[in-house]
Chains A and B, each alone.
Chain A
Amino acid sequence: MRKKLTPYILLVPQIILTIFFLIGLITGIAQSLGVIPAFGLTEPTLFYYKEILTKPDMVRSVLYSLRIAFFSALFSTAAGVLLCAVLVMSRRTKGRMMRIVQLPIVVPHVVVALFVINICSQNGLLARVIYAFGLIGEQQEFPALIYDAGGFGIILAYLWKEIPFIVYFVIALMANIDGKLGEAAVNLGAGKVQAFFRVTLPLCANTIYSGFLIIFVFALGAYELPFILGATTPKALPVQAYIQYTHPDLRNRPYAMALNGLIMAISLLSACVYLALMRRSQKKLAGNK
């Protein structure tokens, strides 16, 4: 009997924290459906979701956030995997090189924003270097990479932080597979590059997908970078949500929660896509056996 109770006792603090978390989620979802008893709103409605999906500036926010999240995740994953491959093939998966890889993981996003301002603004180092080479004649000719409507500066900031994250996330597995199965493929006559693309990479696919997913969901819901480096319009979803949340008119709160609900829905949807992809690649691997 005692043995049976042990796991539940071990889980007590976790359960308490989970309850807090769920309270947050459920409150948010209820408010997004317009249920705020304190304001006398008790009838659930999809009105606020309809509003945010039809109001032009809200729609632009949605597209802007999706764009930033997708490109950040895509480029980070692609560059991260490439870098990881280079590190694995040149046998530099430990030691000093890995310290450099770990460095950006420790740096908070607000500091990365500072980096982007220092380097990529029109007054930044990059503009000065290009000027020194005579490629531009004036400060204003340097393209606005931050506070721009395309979210370019935000994506750059994410890349700085997330490329090393992907390397860190994938490298142990990739080094292991390349050292064992990749080696075997080379012994059987495959070229090194061929062995990498036909053997090592497919076996790392699941981890790479989940790395992509983590970055996508994070970039979609993160506040600090779009807040510091983003344009005045369009505003990223979390920034827009916070503006509605702190709006003096409390009746705007359901809009904030509907925007949050949208972020959550997209996150969960991408998690489902990820699970489906994982199932498929597992089946494929099993089939190849």
Chain B
Amino acid sequence: MKKKRFAITNMILALFVLTVVLPIAVMIVWTVTERWAWPDLVPQVLSLRALSEIFRRSEALAKLFASSIMISAAVAMASVVIGTLTARALVLYEFWGKRMMYFFTVLPFMVPATVFAMGVQISFIKLGLNNTVAGVVLSHLICSLPYAVRLMMDGTAAVGDRLEEQARVLGASMGQAFFRVTFPLLVPVILSSFSMAYIVSFSQYFLTLLIGGGQVKTFTIVMVPYLQGGDRNIACAYSVIFLGITLAVFALFEKIAGRWGKNTDTEFYT
């Protein structure tokens, strides 16, 4: 009986792992596939055409890199900074309008980005932000920020302000107390907020399409036409490259957070 249950558990887990990994593996195979006609289970002709086509236009790729990754990194950075400020205000202070402010910070969770995008475009046009990188960053920021605020609020609540007050009593300035005491304790949460905000921005298609007006090219904007045009090799190759970079960056973050955690994971956290 016990053994049987164990077998079922393992089967469910194996099925899950297969479902997650298989599409990624197939995508990687597609990047080097030239011909894969029905009904073969493996491609008939392999080639590096898609990869070499992408790398031949290395200037375009570099540009896409710069705009796509820079936009998402800028959005994530701004989300972390603003998220930290907002979380401090909402967690550590009592003030008039606090509940309303909290409601507004999480409201974008409840309103889809498409609805927001179509409503705000006219204002962006009037402000000259439409079709600009700044406009895209601003619109992504509005959608990424709630995630950062939520995570930073949990982090700020866990760290609290007692240690900071100690530092203040001992003569540190407000900035010193924050950067020398609270900030190091917040680093793991900051990294996960950054990652989350980055993912949200990086995955945006509609907002970028509308506010960027096709002028601002990001990974999703470049990839969708290939997907629809049936040039699957190129779509797969782009996806593999960009996913690879994203995963590498996150792995690095996790390493930093892990090392940091070892140094600072003391009783303050519990």
* A residues neighboring B (CB under 8 Å): 4, 6-8, 10-11, 13-15, 17-18, 20-29, 31, 82-83, 86-87, 89-90, 92, 97, 100, 103-111, 113-119, 123, 125, 127-129, 131-132, 139, 160, 163-164, 214, 217-218, 220-224, 228, 238, 241-242, 245, 256-257, 260, 263-264, 267-268, 271
> In the bound complex, do residue A132 and residue B39 qualify as a contact, i.e. CB atoms below 8 Å apart?
yes
Among B86, B142, B247: residue with most chain A CB under 10 A? B86
**Chain B residues with CB under 8 A of A105:** 199
CB of B114 within 8 A of CB of A241, answer: yes
- Using CB atoms, name the residue of chain B closest to A17: B142
Query: Which residues of chain A have C-beta atoms less than 8 A from B123's C-beta?
Result: 20, 23-24, 27
**4 pairs of A and B residues whose beta carbons are closest in the complex:** A221-B112, A28-B119, A24-B120, A115-B23
Smallest Cβ-Cβ distance to B195: which chain A residue = A106
Closest chain-B Cβ to A24's Cβ sits at a distance in Å of: 3
For window 89-136 of B, CB contacts with A under 8 Å fall at 89-90, 93, 95, 98, 101, 104-105, 107-120, 122-123
On whether the beta carbons of A20 and B138 are closer than 8 Å, the reply is yes
* Contacts A4-B95, A8-B95, A13-B85 known; 6 new A-B pairs at CB < 8 A: A14-B105, A89-B9, A114-B232, A132-B39, A160-B19, A241-B118
Q: Which of B16, B24, B219, B223 interacts with A83 by CB under 8 Å?
A: B16
A139 in contact with B39 given A11-B89, A20-B120, A86-B13 (CB within 8 Å): yes
User: When chains A and B are docked, how far (Å) is the Cα of A111 from the Cα of B85?
Assistant: 34
Q: Say whether B232 contacts A117, CB under 8 Å.
A: yes
Please pick, from A22, A28, A109, A163, the residue contacting B203 in the complex, using a CB distance under 8 A: A109
Query: What is the 8 Å Cβ interface bit string for chain B, positions 214-230, against chain A (1 contact, 0 not)?
Result: 00000110011001100
Given A24-B123, A224-B205, A268-B110, verify A114-B239 contact (CB < 8 Å).
Answer: yes
Please name the residue on chain A nearest to B16 by beta carbon. A83
Contact A222 B112 (CB under 8 A): yes
B104 partner residues in chain A, CB cutoff 8 A: 18, 21-22
Interface residues, chain B, with chain A CB atoms under 8 Å away: 9, 12-13, 16-17, 19-24, 26-27, 30, 38-41, 81-82, 85-86, 88-90, 93, 95, 98, 101, 104-105, 107-120, 122-123, 138, 141-142, 145, 149, 199, 202-203, 205-206, 219-220, 223-224, 227-228, 232, 235-236, 239, 243, 246-247, 250
Report Cα–Cα, A222/B202, bound state, in Å.
15
Contact of A217 (CB < 8 Å), options: B22, B109, B122, B243: B109
CB–CB A14/B86 < 8 A: yes
23 A-B Cβ contacts within 8 A?
A6-B93, A7-B89, A10-B93, A11-B86, A11-B89, A21-B111, A24-B115, A25-B115, A25-B116, A82-B12, A83-B12, A86-B12, A105-B199, A108-B219, A110-B205, A118-B232, A127-B39, A132-B39, A221-B112, A224-B205, A224-B220, A242-B118, A263-B112
Q: Compute how far the CA of A26 lies from the CA of B123 in the bound complex, rounded to whole angstroms.
A: 11
List the A residue with the shortest CB-CB distance to B78: A13
Tell me the complex Cα distance, A142–B247, Å.
35
B contact residues around A220 at 8 Å (CB): 112
* A192 nearest CB neighbor, chain B only: B5
Chain B residues with CB below 8 A from A23, complex form: 119-120, 123
Report yes or no: A119 in contact with B116, Cβ–Cβ below 8 A: no
User: Chain B contact residues: over half helix, strand or loop, or mixed?
Assistant: helix
Q: Are B206 and A223 in contact (CB under 8 A)?
A: yes
Chain B nearest CB from A105 CB (Å) reads 7
Q: Dominant SS at the A interface? A: helix
Smallest beta-carbon distance A172→chain B, Å: 11
Is the pair A114, B85 in contact by a Cβ cutoff of 8 Å?
no
Q: CA–CA, A96 to B56, complex, Å? A: 37
How far, in angstroms, from A117 to B227 measured CA to CA in the complex? 9
Which residues of the other chain, B, contact A160 by a CB distance below 8 angstroms? 19-20, 23
Nearest A residue to B85 by beta-carbon distance? Answer: A10
Given A14-B101, A139-B39, A223-B114, is A106 in contact with B199 using a C-beta cutoff of 8 Å?
yes
User: Bound state CA distance, A92 and B141, in angstroms?
Assistant: 35
CB distance from A51 to the nearest CB of B (A): 18
Q: Given the complex of chains A and B, what is the CA–CA distance between A214 and B12 in angstroms? A: 25
Contacts A14-B86, A228-B228 known; A108 to B112 CB distance under 8 Å?
no
A106 contacts B243, C-beta separation under 8 Å: yes
Report yes or no: A218 in contact with B95, Cβ–Cβ below 8 A. no
Residue from B101, B116, B246 whose CB has the most chain A CB atoms within 10 Å: B116
Q: Is the CB of A100 within 8 A of B20?
A: yes
Cβ–Cβ contact A111 & B110, under 8 A: no
Question: What distance in Å separates the Cβ of A257 from its nearest Cβ neighbour in chain B?
Answer: 7
| Chain A: CB-nearest residue to B39 | A131
Pair A110/B88 contact, Cβ less than 8 Å: no
Task: State the Cβ distance, B4 to closest chain A Cβ, in Å.
Answer: 13
